[in-house]
Amino acid sequence: MVTQARAFTTRALIVKGAAIAFERYGYDGASLNDVVEAAGTTKGALYFHFKTKEALAREVIVEQERQSHAAVEAIEESGSAALEQIVMVCHEMARQILEDPIVRAGVRITLELSITDGPHHPYETWIAGCARLAARAIDEGDLREDVDAGALAHFIVSAFAGVQLFSQFETRRTDLSRRVDEMLQVLLTGLVPPRRRARLDKILAAHQAPQTQT
Amino acid sequence: MVTQARAFTTRALIVKGAAIAFERYGYDGASLNDVVEAAGTTKGALYFHFKTKEALAREVIVEQERQSHAAVEAIEESGSAALEQIVMVCHEMARQILEDPIVRAGVRITLELSITDGPHHPYETWIAGCARLAARAIDEGDLREDVDAGALAHFIVSAFAGVQLFSQFETRRTDLSRRVDEMLQVLLTGLVPPRRRARLDKILAAHQAPQTQT
C-alpha cells in the first residue's frame, strides 16, 4: 500500500512536470529530459508510468478535462441563480488558467495538436455547462427570452478563449481577471432585461477578483 | 526594369510560399526547403531575398499588417454608418483568414512566436479601427451611450480571435462566417438602443455571407 501511494505521488509529479515542460517548450519542443527535470524524478520512474510523450500529453489533457468537469459540477451545485453561475464559470476558467500549469499546458498542447492532428476540443465541458446555465437563466428571467442559449454558451466560451489569448499576448495574463470582468460587463448588460440590470451589476461586483489585478 | 519586376514577383512568390509552409508546419517545423517547394522557386532565389527564416517570418507578419491596415482604411472610407462598418470589419477579418494564406500564417506564427519570444500583437490595427468606429457609432446613436468604445473594440477583436480558433478546431473554419454572424447577433443586439434594433437586423442581414457557409 505504501508503495502504491508512492507510485501515485510520483505519477502526479510526472504529469505536473510534463505540464510545465509542455507549457514552456510546446509539445514538439519539450523533451523527456525536460519532463524529468521539471518533475524532479528519474527517467526510470517516467518510463515506468508513461511509455511515450504522446501518452503524457494525453494524460495532461485528461487531467485538464477532469478539472473543468469538477468545476462546472461544483458551480452547478452551488445553488446560486444561473446568471450568477455563468459569471462564476468565466472567472473559474480564468482562475484555472492563472493558477494551474496543467490547465495552461492543456490549452497550449491541445491548440498545437489540433493544428496538425485534427480537432480535439479543450473547452467542450465549459460550453455544455454554460448552455445548461443560459437555458436556466432564461427560465429564471435573468436573460432576455430571445437569447439562443446554445449560441450564447458557444460564444461566451469562444470569446473567453480569445480574451485569454490576448491577455497572454499583451500582459502575460496579468490583466486576465480585469479583462474577464470587462467581457462580462460588455456582453451581459445587453442580454439581461432592463429590470434585472441592477441585479446583474451586484453579481458582477461580487465576483470581481481584485487580488489578481495589477 | 524587367529584371526588377521579375525580382519583385519572385519575392512575392517566396513570401507566399513561406506563408504556406508556416501555416502547414508552424514556425519551428517549417524548413527553408518547405518554403522553396511551396514557392516553386530555387534556394538561390530564396537566399537572394531573405537570409534567414526569421526574416521570412517578419515579412509575413508585415504583409499581414499591411492588409489589415488597407482593409480598415477602405472600410472607414466607405461612407457607411459606423455600426455597419463594425459589422464589415468582423466579416473582413473572417474573409482574410479564409482566403489568404499570408493572414493565416501571420496569425499562426505570431501566436507561436509570442509564446516564446514576447508579445507581438497581430490584431492591433483591427482593435484601433474598431475603437474609432465604436466611438462614432455611439455619436450616431447606434450604440448605447453607456458603452465604453475602447473596451468594446478590444472585446470584439479578442472574441473574434477566439471564435476563429474554435471554428478552426471544430470545422476547419467551414462554419466561420456563420459563427461571426452569431457573434454579431449575440453581442450587438444588446448594445444597440431598442429603437435602432430593426436597423441592426437589416445591417446584419445585408452582410451575411451565405457563399462561405456549408
Matching residue, cell 518547405? B34
* Nearest CA-CA distance, residue A20 and chain B, Å: 14
Q: A22 and A72 share a domain?
A: no
Q: A158 and A203 share a domain?
A: yes
Question: In this predicted model, what pLDDT tens digit does every residue of A124-164 receive, in sequence order?
Answer: 899 999 999 999 999 999 999 999 999 999 999 999 999 99
- Rounded Cα distance, B130 and B150, in Å: 8
The average confidence (pLDDT) of chain A is 90
- State the Rg of chain B over Cα: 19
* Nearest CA-CA distance, residue B75 and chain A, Å: 24
Question: In this predicted model, what pLDDT tens digit does every residue of A40-82 receive, in sequence order?
Answer: 999 999 999 999 999 999 899 889 989 999 999 999 999 999 9
pLDDT value, residue A122 = 78
Nearest residue of chain A to residue B164 (CA atoms): A158
Partner residue facing B114 (CB), from A123, A148, A169:
A169
Q: A34 and A64 share a domain?
A: no
Spell out which residues of chain A touch residue B170, defining contact as CB-CB under 8 Å. Answer: 119, 121
Q: Which amino acid makes up residue B55?
A: A
Residues in chain A: 214
Q: Determine how many CB atoms are found less than 10 A away from the CB of residue B206.
A: 11
Interface of A with B in 107-136 (CB under 8 A): 108, 111-112, 114-116, 119-121, 123
pLDDT value, residue A213 = 45
- Overall average pLDDT of the B110-122 stretch: 62
Assigned domain for B196 exists: yes
- Rounded Cα distance, B164 and A53, in Å: 29
Any chain A CB within 8 A of the CB of B169? yes
* Nearest CA-CA distance, residue B79 and chain A, Å: 27
Partner residue facing B152 (CB), from A29, A163, A186:
A186
A13-22, A73-82, B105-114, range with the lowest pLDDT? B105-114
What letter would DSSP give residue A122? T
Q: A43 and A96 share a domain?
A: no
Spell out which residues of chain B touch residue A163, defining contact as CB-CB under 8 Å. Answer: 155, 158-159, 162
- Rounded Cα distance, B50 and A69, in Å: 48
Contacts of A204 (CB under 8 A, 6+ apart): A87, A181, A184, A185, A188
What cell does A200 get?
Answer: 446583474
- Overall average pLDDT of the A77-101 stretch: 96
Categorize the per-residue pLDDT at B1 as very low, low, confident or very high, splitting at 50, 70 and 90.
low
Size of interface A-B (CB pairs under 8 A): 123
Q: Dihedrals φ, ψ of A190, to 5°? A: -80, -15
The average confidence (pLDDT) of chain B is 90
* Nearest CA-CA distance, residue B113 and chain A, Å: 10
Is B187–A155 a contact, with Cβ atoms under 8 angstroms apart? yes
Q: B120 and B202 share a domain?
A: yes
Nearest of A115, A90, A101 to residue A186 by alpha carbon: A90
Assigned domain for B56 exists: no
pLDDT value, residue A75 = 97
How much of chain B exceeds pLDDT 70, in percent?
92
Categorize the per-residue pLDDT at A110 as very low, low, confident or very high, splitting at 50, 70 and 90.
confident
* pLDDT higher than threshold 70 for residue B127: yes
* pLDDT higher than threshold 80 for residue A214: no
Q: Name the domain count of chain B.
A: 2
Q: A47 and A87 share a domain?
A: no
Task: Tell me which of A13, A34, A51 is where a domain ends.
Answer: A51
Assigned domain for B104 exists: yes
Question: In this predicted model, what pLDDT tens digit does every residue of B139-169 receive, in sequence order?
Answer: 999 999 999 999 999 999 999 999 998 898 8
CATH code of residue B8: 1.10.10.60
- Rounded Cα distance, B127 and B124, in Å: 5
Is B159–A154 a contact, with Cβ atoms under 8 angstroms apart? no
Assigned domain for B93 exists: yes
Q: B68 and B108 share a domain?
A: yes
Q: A8 and A40 share a domain?
A: yes
Is B169–A28 a contact, with Cβ atoms under 8 angstroms apart? no
Q: B141 and B68 share a domain?
A: yes
How much of chain B exceeds pLDDT 90, in percent?
73
Categorize the per-residue pLDDT at B115 as very low, low, confident or very high, splitting at 50, 70 and 90.
low
* pLDDT higher than threshold 80 for residue B4: no
Full domain range(s) for residue A34: 1-51
Nearest residue of chain B to residue A143 (CA atoms): B190
Nearest residue of chain A to residue B156 (CA atoms): A159
Partner residue facing B190 (CB), from A121, A182, A190:
A190
* pLDDT higher than threshold 60 for residue A195: yes
End-to-end CA distance of chain A: 46
* pLDDT higher than threshold 60 for residue B63: yes
Matching residue, cell 458557444? A154
Partner residue facing B162 (CB), from A115, A161, A185:
A161
Q: Which amino acid makes up residue A105?
A: A
Nearest residue of chain B to residue A178 (CA atoms): B151
* pLDDT higher than threshold 80 for residue B51: yes
Assigned domain for B151 exists: yes
Any chain B CB within 8 A of the CB of A150? no
Q: B87 and B115 share a domain?
A: yes
pLDDT value, residue A212 = 46
Is A144–B169 a contact, with Cβ atoms under 8 angstroms apart? no
- Overall average pLDDT of the B44-61 stretch: 92
Categorize the per-residue pLDDT at B214 as very low, low, confident or very high, splitting at 50, 70 and 90.
very low
Matching residue, cell 514577383? B9
Is B158–A151 a contact, with Cβ atoms under 8 angstroms apart? no
* pLDDT higher than threshold 60 for residue A116: no
Is B158–A166 a contact, with Cβ atoms under 8 angstroms apart? yes
End-to-end CA distance of chain B: 46
* pLDDT higher than threshold 60 for residue B106: yes
Q: A124 and A189 share a domain?
A: yes
What letter would DSSP give residue B190? T
* pLDDT higher than threshold 80 for residue B181: yes
Q: How far lies A113's CA from each of A15, A26, A83, B102, in Å?
A: 18, 10, 34, 21
Q: B138 and B198 share a domain?
A: yes
Is B191–A191 a contact, with Cβ atoms under 8 angstroms apart? no
Is A165–B166 a contact, with Cβ atoms under 8 angstroms apart? no
CATH code of residue A177: 1.10.357.10
What cell does B98 get?
Answer: 479564409
* Nearest CA-CA distance, residue B21 and chain A, Å: 13
| A90-106 core/surface letters (b: 16 or more CB in 10 A; e: else) | bbbbbbbbbebbbbbbb
* Nearest CA-CA distance, residue A77 and chain B, Å: 27
